[in-house]
């Protein structure tokens, strides 16, 4: 069994299912055949925070549903205990709620979808 450490940060007013986020990360990591211990962080923030991250890192003054930040940008970064630190996924909760409503999905399902999407980017698997 692969050791997967998921660090979850949630701005206090948002109600997210941490257990489900963890399970989604574990499922995605295992499905993609990673067998070394991995660490990933998931942050759930508001539109204002997301907008400032988007501006800073993407040069776009707008909110978005997700941003993912790879720790490696090239070579996988290994810590002394040989944990592969994949990076950070940041979700804008208000945007996730709007997307879920638009797509007629449950908010938790939309969170799962976006976490998996962000994780695929961190693993270097990009969609067409």
pLDDT at 119: 94
Domains and CATH numbers, the chain: 4-122 (3.40.390.30)
51, pLDDT greater than 70: yes
Give the residue-averaged pLDDT of 104-125.
94
Q: What is the pLDDT of residues 1-14, one digit of tens each?
A: 568 999 999 998 89
Helix ranges (H only) for 46-106 are: 47-58, 93-102
Q: State how far the Cα of 83 lies from the Cα of 71, in Å rounded to an integer.
A: 12
Q: What is the pLDDT of residues 22-39, one digit of tens each?
A: 999 999 999 988 878 899
Q: What is the pLDDT of residues 68-98, one digit of tens each?
A: 998 765 555 555 567 788 999 999 999 999 9
Strands 4-10 and 38-45: parallel
Give the residue-averaged pLDDT of 117-128.
83
Tokens for 115, please give them. 């976490």
């Amino acid at each position: 069994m692969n050791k997967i450490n998921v660090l979850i940060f949630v701005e206090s007013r948002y109600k997210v299912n941490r257990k489900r986020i963890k399970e989604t990360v574990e499922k995605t990591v295992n499905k993609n055949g990673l067998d070394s211990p991995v660490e990933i962080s998931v942050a759930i923030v508001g539109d204002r925070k997301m907008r400032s991250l988007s501006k800073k890192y993407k040069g776009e003054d707008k909110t978005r549903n997700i941003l993912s930040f790879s720790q490696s940008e090239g070579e996988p970064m290994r810590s002394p205990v040989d944990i592969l630190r994949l990076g950070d996924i940041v979700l804008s909760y208000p945007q996730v709620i709007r997307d879920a409503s638009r797509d007629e999905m449950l908010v938790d399902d939309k969170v799962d979808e976006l976490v998996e999407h962000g994780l695929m980017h961190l693993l270097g698997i990009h969609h067409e």
